[in-house]
Amino acid sequence: MFKQEIDFLGKRQIALIISSILIVVSIASLAINGLKLGIDFTGGTLVEVGYKEAADLKVLRNALTEAGFEDATVQNFGTTKDVLIRIKPQDGLSNAMLSDKVLVAANKHAAEPVDKRRVEFVGPQVGDELAEDGGLAMLYSMFGILIYVAWRFEYKFSLGSVAALFHDVIITLGVFSLLQMEFDLTVLAAVLAVIGYSLNDTIVVYDRIRENFRTLRQDSSAHIMNISLNQTLSRTLMTSITTAVVLIALAVLGGEIIHNFAIALLIGVGIGTYSSIYVASPIVLALGITKEDLMLPIKEGEEIDEMP
């Protein structure tokens, strides 16, 4: 008999309180503050400029702030001499006037004249379509997961997995809302990746639970699920830790262009690891999963076929 090490499900009430608080705070922040949407969603102007020497992004940001572009996003693009500037829409300024004003600000503290490489404008209608398509992508993925898990396991497992995914997505979005970090297409991609990561972790746990339900028939459902969580714990932690190490390196050393992407994944990996243990499994237990739900069907006439 497997020696139980940690009573995960014995602490499910505490986990329920923690998750409820996090979800309520996240939803409240999303309702009050909303997300700080990037120009991918709001529309705006993108200006690429080139410097003769490595650009000082801090000086450039200060110059843009002085010029009235407080919300400008400045990041290196390719090399330290190439800079990408994202500006939100400005009332009373055309696209050409806006790019000229940005170029003046960039030249203010530059030792040599700055080259204007390209200017692109993203209209608000395109941004609205991207936001709508991104939201639909998340809903479709959730629906597909619901069907897949119900087919592979049992409908109670599918409800538990989707509840855990909603838990992960809402809290990840809530953190971005609370900290007012910019939410753009790369962060949306990270949120969708979090859904896949969290589901994979949950499926591993569910596989072990199903296997143990079929072999440890004398134990209670809670005890079997605790055993399963302990058996998969080392795999879960090693996967999460190694993934987190890479994401921390990307967040610290990867530059501003992928900083928020790495942060979103890092939050999602942490929350996803937690939810696969303290959200997905307790919900299945609360729905009344039994050994009969996971027993293999007995084929009619199977005993006759096995007779010599």
pLDDT, residue 178, reads 92
Which parts of 14-111 are beta strand (E)?
A: 36-37, 44-50, 73-77, 79-87
User: Is pLDDT of 244 > 50?
Assistant: yes
User: Is pLDDT of 39 > 80?
Assistant: no
User: Looking at residues 56-61, what average pLDDT do you find?
Assistant: 79
Report which of 96, 80, 2, 7 is spatially closest to residue 257, judged by C-alpha positions: 80
pLDDT, residue 46, reads 79
pLDDT, residue 295, reads 60
Mean pLDDT across the chain: 79
Tokens representing 149 are: 């898990």
pLDDT, residue 131, reads 66
pLDDT, residue 164, reads 87
User: Looking at residues 26-42, what average pLDDT do you find?
Assistant: 85
pLDDT, residue 172, reads 92
Work out the burial of residue 13: count CB atoms within 10 Å of its CB; fewer than 13 is exposed, 13-18 middle, 19 or more buried.
Answer: exposed
Q: In angstroms, what CA-CA distances link 5 with 19, 103, 104, 233?
A: 23, 63, 65, 10
Which residues, 6 or more positions from 257, have their beta carbon under 8 angstroms from its beta carbon? 75, 76, 77, 84, 186
More confident position, 25 or 37: 25
User: Looking at residues 214-239, what average pLDDT do you find?
Assistant: 82
Tokens representing 104 are: 């003046």
Question: What residues does 138 pair with on adjacent strands?
Answer: none
Residue type, 279: V
Inter-residue contact 172 to 194 (CB < 8 Å): yes
- Per-residue pLDDT band for 277 (boundaries 50, 70, 90) equals confident
Q: Show the domains of the chain with their CATH numbers.
A: 9-36+126-294 (1.20.1640.10), 44-122 (3.30.70.3400)
User: Is pLDDT of 302 > 60?
Assistant: no
Q: Which helix (H) or strand (E) holds 204?
A: helix 185-215
Tokens representing 191 are: 């949120």
Question: Distance of alpha carbon 124 from its chain centroid, rounded?
Answer: 25
Task: Supply the DSSP symbol for 113.
Answer: P
pLDDT, residue 293, reads 57
pLDDT, residue 2, reads 45
User: Is pLDDT of 47 > 90?
Assistant: no
- Per-residue pLDDT band for 303 (boundaries 50, 70, 90) equals very low
Number of alpha carbons in the 13 Å side-chain half-sphere of residue 37: 17
Range among 24-28, 52-56, 80-84, 187-191 rated most confident: 24-28
User: Is pLDDT of 55 > 80?
Assistant: no
Q: How far apart are CA 33 and CA 266, in angstroms?
A: 22
Q: Which helix (H) or strand (E) holds 182?
A: strand 182-183
User: Is pLDDT of 24 > 90?
Assistant: yes
User: Looking at residues 258-284, what average pLDDT do you find?
Assistant: 88
User: Looking at residues 156-168, what average pLDDT do you find?
Assistant: 84
pLDDT, residue 26, reads 94
Q: Which helix (H) or strand (E) holds 122?
A: strand 115-122
> Which range among 111-120, 121-130, 159-168, 259-268 shows the weakest confidence by mean pLDDT?
121-130
User: Looking at residues 159-169, what average pLDDT do you find?
Assistant: 86
- Per-residue pLDDT band for 25 (boundaries 50, 70, 90) equals very high
User: Is pLDDT of 22 > 50?
Assistant: yes
pLDDT tens, residue by residue, 93-151: 666 677 777 778 777 777 777 777 777 776 655 556 666 776 777 777 777 777 777 77
